[in-house]
């Protein structure tokens, strides 16, 4: 393979990260706020009170503004697979494209069909029929998230495929294995429940603003109660699915877990770092000393998280590079250099296959294909992801998750008395950006922590990127940065205008 300009890889990654992070500003609010407004409309249908209809319509208005922005950024994100990552698209397009196609055909059309009925059918549909349209719209958005997360999970844990040396493409052999991968199920549940948390924080935060201003207090108290009950349940589910996600990562992406914990050398009874500060400039492949300035650990916490037993073995970065330890499968782990040698054998066999060599080379390729991607790496150190970014992002996600759990519980205990505590209302309002920080931090852990892989163990960034002029990628990066920032500012202005106007008079007090 011809050497790739590393700046091209960096700028292509930066452009994709920019698009993905802007897109993810809109998606979790769509998922979380959508389900809350479904619950509120169900209360309206059950009670028949116009108060709940007006309450639902207010949150639905904000849902619609956010939904439109999410669609715009999501379309650009999918196009970038073909423009910036064409080698990736060629290598696994038959597999990766399948869930995205289902998402477009089924989920997106489900949303598009019912969203018009939801917004414009209040006076034309019966109560229960309109409630069904609302649920179907939110269900469509959730289905959309499911298929996108199936595609992303396959990149983290590739299953249900075989490599065809004649076409030099990976081909799907089991759609069920891809769609129902345990990693995909866990990722979907964790991502969606965390989005529910964000939606609940958004609702209580906006409601707190009304209480601070002394406006629409009945509306605000009712919204806080519904969102707090919903948010508390969602936060508990997020914690549970987060634990299972940790087990999956330990099993299938141990380097990501080691980076998230700043774990250089593993062992048994490994503690989980609650808070800690890393020394700057650490060479994580060969640190000269303890990489922490300080840390506070939960005894045996990481072993428990990764293996469900307090004495479970968890490999660190050094162990993963050097190999030699016995894994969960009872086999001795290979070193990074051994995997790179097997990867070179697989790549050489593929070249010989293309020259028409007999089936012996095909057999060599199949035998060593699990290490195919390692053959593109130059040094073992390339396997170490950015540790500091992953470590701190993981802590932001977990600590804020615990804070939201306490926030919802406190709101339920306080009830209407919260309106008398102005500093508390301000804290609730400021929790909205914290919810977005936690949501983005989760994706940073998921994506930065798996570097250098676009597909775990099979295709690194250097082999997946399109051969484009670096200047072109830089130019489009800044165009997208300006465009997405403009869209975000526009959404904030429209939303703030809608919030300042407030709900309909039936919610006024």
- Per-residue pLDDT band for 103 (boundaries 50, 70, 90) equals confident
Looking at 43-52, 83-92, 483-492, which range is the least confident one? Answer: 83-92
Please determine, for residue 356, whether its predicted confidence score (pLDDT) is greater than 60: no
Phi, psi values for residue 332, rounded to 5°: -75, 125
105 vs 350, higher pLDDT? 350
pLDDT of 219-254, one tens digit each?
A: 999 999 999 999 999 999 999 999 899 899 999 999
Please determine, for residue 369, whether its predicted confidence score (pLDDT) is greater than 70: yes
453 vs 386: CA distance, rounded Å: 12
Please determine, for residue 289, whether its predicted confidence score (pLDDT) is greater than 80: no
Residue-level pLDDT at 412: 92
| Cβ atoms of residues 88 and 464 within 8 Å | yes
pLDDT of 146-164, one tens digit each?
A: 988 998 999 999 998 888 8
- Strand 459-460 relative to strand 169-172: parallel, antiparallel, unpaired? unpaired
Most confident of 85-89, 97-101, 249-253: 249-253
Going by C-beta distance under 8 Å and a sequence separation of 6 or more, which residues neighbour residue 238? 190, 193, 194, 196, 197, 401
Phi, psi values for residue 172, rounded to 5°: -75, 135
Count of alpha carbons within 13 angstroms of residue 461, beta-carbon side: 19
SS3 76: helix
What percent of the chain shows pLDDT beyond 70? 96
Which residues, listed in sequence order, are joined to residue 113 by a DSSP beta bridge?
none
What residue spans define the domains of the chain?
Answer: 260-376
110 vs 252: CA distance, rounded Å: 34
Phi, psi values for residue 53, rounded to 5°: -65, -45
Going by C-beta distance under 8 Å and a sequence separation of 6 or more, which residues neighbour residue 236? 405
Residue-level pLDDT at 89: 84
Please determine, for residue 108, whether its predicted confidence score (pLDDT) is greater than 90: no
Question: How is 444-485 classified by DSSP, letter by letter?
Answer: HHHHHTTTTEEETTTEEHHHHS----HHHHHHHHHHHHHHHH
Please determine, for residue 357, whether its predicted confidence score (pLDDT) is greater than 60: no
Q: What is the pTM of this model?
A: 0.91
- Per-residue pLDDT band for 102 (boundaries 50, 70, 90) equals confident
């Amino acid at each position: 393979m011809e050497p790739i300009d590393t700046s091209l890889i960096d700028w292509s990654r930066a452009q994709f990260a920019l698009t993905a992070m802007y897109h993810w500003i809109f998606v979790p609010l769509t998922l979380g706020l959508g389900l809350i407004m479904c619950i509120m409309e169900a209360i309206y249908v059950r009670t028949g009170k116009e108060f709940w209809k007006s309450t639902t319509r207010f949150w639905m208005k904000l849902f619609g503004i956010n939904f439109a922005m999410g669609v715009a950024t999501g379309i650009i994100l999918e196009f970038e697979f073909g423009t910036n990552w064409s080698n990736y698209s060629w290598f696994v397009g038959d597999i990766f494209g399948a869930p995205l196609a289902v998402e477009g055909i089924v989920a997106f059309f489900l949303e598009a069909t019912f969203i018009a009925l939801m917004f414009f059918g209040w006076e034309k549909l019966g109560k229960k029929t309109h409630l069904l349209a609302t649920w179907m719209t939110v269900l469509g958005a959730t289905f959309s998230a499911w298929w996108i997360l199936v595609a992303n999970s396959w990149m983290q844990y590739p299953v249900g495929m075989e490599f065809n040396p004649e076409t030099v493409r990976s081909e799907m052999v089991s759609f069920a294995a891809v769609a129902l991968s345990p990693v995909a199920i866990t990722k979907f549940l964790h991502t969606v429940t965390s989005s529910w948390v964000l939606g609940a924080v958004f609702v209580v935060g906006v409601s707190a603003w009304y209480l601070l201003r002394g406006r629409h207090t009945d509306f605000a108290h009712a919204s806080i109660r519904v969102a707090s009950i919903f948010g508390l349940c969602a936060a508990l589910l997020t914690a549970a699915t987060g634990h299972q996600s940790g087990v999956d990562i330990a099993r299938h992406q141990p380097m990501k877990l080691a980076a998230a914990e700043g774990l250089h050398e593993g062992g048994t009874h490994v503690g989980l770092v609650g808070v800690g500060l890393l020394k700057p400039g650490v060479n994580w492949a060969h640190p000269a000393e303890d990489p922490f300035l300080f840390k506070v650990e939960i005894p045996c916490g990481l072993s428990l998280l990764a293996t469900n037993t307090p004495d479970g073995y968890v490999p660190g970065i050094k162990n993963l590079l050097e190999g030699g330890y016995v894994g969960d499968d009872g086999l001795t782990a290979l070193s990074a250099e051994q995997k790179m040698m097997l990867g070179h054998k697989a790549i050489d066999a593929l070249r010989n296959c293309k020259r028409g060599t007999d089936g012996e080379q095909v057999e060599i390729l199949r035998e060593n294909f699990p290490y195919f991607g390692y053959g593109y790496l130059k040094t073992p150190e390339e396997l170490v992801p950015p540790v500091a970014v992953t470590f701190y992002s993981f802590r932001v996600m977990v600590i804020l998750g615990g804070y939201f759990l306490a926030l919802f519980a406190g709101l339920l205990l306080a009830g209407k008395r919260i309106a008398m505590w102005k500093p508390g209302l301000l804290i609730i309002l400021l929790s909205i950006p914290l919810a977005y920080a936690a949501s983005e931090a989760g994706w940073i852990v998921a994506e930065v922590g798996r570097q250098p892989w676009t597909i775990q163990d099979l295709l690194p960034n250097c082999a997946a990127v399109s051969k484009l002029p670096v200047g072109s990628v830089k130019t489009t990066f800044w165009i997208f940065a300006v465009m997405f920032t403009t869209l975000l500012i526009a959404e904030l202005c429209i939303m703030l205008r809608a919030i300042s106007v407030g709900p309909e008079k039936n919610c006024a007090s």
